[in-house]
Amino acid sequence: MYKIFLVLFFSTVLFAKLVDGVAITVKGSAITLYEIKEEMKLSNLSASAAADALIRKKLEELEIQERNIKVTSSEVYEDIKQTASQNNMSISDFYEAVRNANGLTSTQLKEKIKQKLLSQKLYSAIAYSSVSKPSDAELEEYYELHKDEFAHPSAFDVIIYAADAKERLQEKVDNPMFYSPDIQTNEQHLPYEKISPELASLLERTPLNTFTPIVPNGQGGFMSFYMKHIESTKQAGIEGVKNQIISKIMAEKRERVLGEHFARIKLNAEIKKIRMPK
């Protein structure tokens, strides 16, 4: 009898602790206080906005399960392979570049790509018809309304440091006065229109008199760009950013379809708010 009482007592305590951490349930699936607080920090949102974002995410996860939508490891690999190829990198170099630029491990990158592919498949399953490609008038209107987004420097003056050993190059990045014959240097003037979008993005995020993160050089070694000078900002013409605008408009249209779909589901879903972070 004593043993039974202890089992019941500890089970009750354990259940109480579990419930204490639950903030919201969506169709019986829990969202915890910890998850809301993390979303608030990561996305800089209020508790209410973070909770709404997590409810939407939970509804998506549940619908993916209900529709039995799956993404295979080979699909994830093909997406990575295609992206690496577009950047003229091997897959291992691409992993290294992502790790240096965003701090993501290969496992974390694969998970992000899996979630992206799941969302794409969910959209295809939900949409009654495919999103139409924007007309020239839509492209022109979007460009005029978002011109500031497409302003970019005219060119970058950089010193490219390259080495076979990443560790040796890291010494240079950590201490600009460091010298080693193993590190090659090359000063370059890089016009914005003549470099890849990925390199342009990397250089735009780099302040003057600092190094970029170390990235693979495509030849088995590594390199880092030291930013010497940034030429004045230039307004990009619509022709130069047409593909970028099409991608943005298509993404916004898809999000509207998904947003409306989940807004309807949310109205009828069993959602219980137990408590919110203080």
Asked if residue 216 lies in contact with residue 96, where contact means CB atoms within 8 angstroms, the answer is yes
Select the more confidently predicted residue: 249 or 220.
249
The pLDDT assigned to 129 comes to: 57
For residue 78, give the 3-state DSSP assignment.
helix
The pLDDT assigned to 5 comes to: 44
**CATH number of the structural domain 155-231:** 3.10.50.40
The pLDDT assigned to 236 comes to: 66
**CATH number of the structural domain 2-68+268-273:** 1.10.4030.10
The pLDDT assigned to 170 comes to: 92
Tens-digit pLDDT profile for residues 100-109: 767 778 888 8
Name residue 226's beta-bridge partners. 159, 211
Q: Is the pLDDT assigned to residue 128 strictly greater than 70?
A: no
185 falls in which pLDDT band (50, 70, 90)?
A: very high
CA–CA distance, 58 with 54 (Å, rounded to integer): 6
Question: Could you tell me the sign of the dihedral formed by the alpha carbons of 169, 171, 173, 178, in that order?
Answer: negative
Q: Is the pLDDT assigned to residue 43 strictly greater than 90?
A: no
- pTM flag (> 0.85): no
Q: Is the pLDDT assigned to residue 135 strictly greater than 60?
A: yes
259 falls in which pLDDT band (50, 70, 90)?
A: confident
Under 8 Å CB-to-CB from 185, ≥6 apart: which residues? 159, 160, 161, 162
Q: Is the pLDDT assigned to residue 74 strictly greater than 50?
A: yes
Q: Where are the domains of the chain?
A: 2-68+268-273, 69-126, 155-231
Q: Is the pLDDT assigned to residue 17 strictly greater than 50?
A: no
Q: Compute the mean pLDDT over every residue in the chain, rounded to the nearest whole number.
A: 84
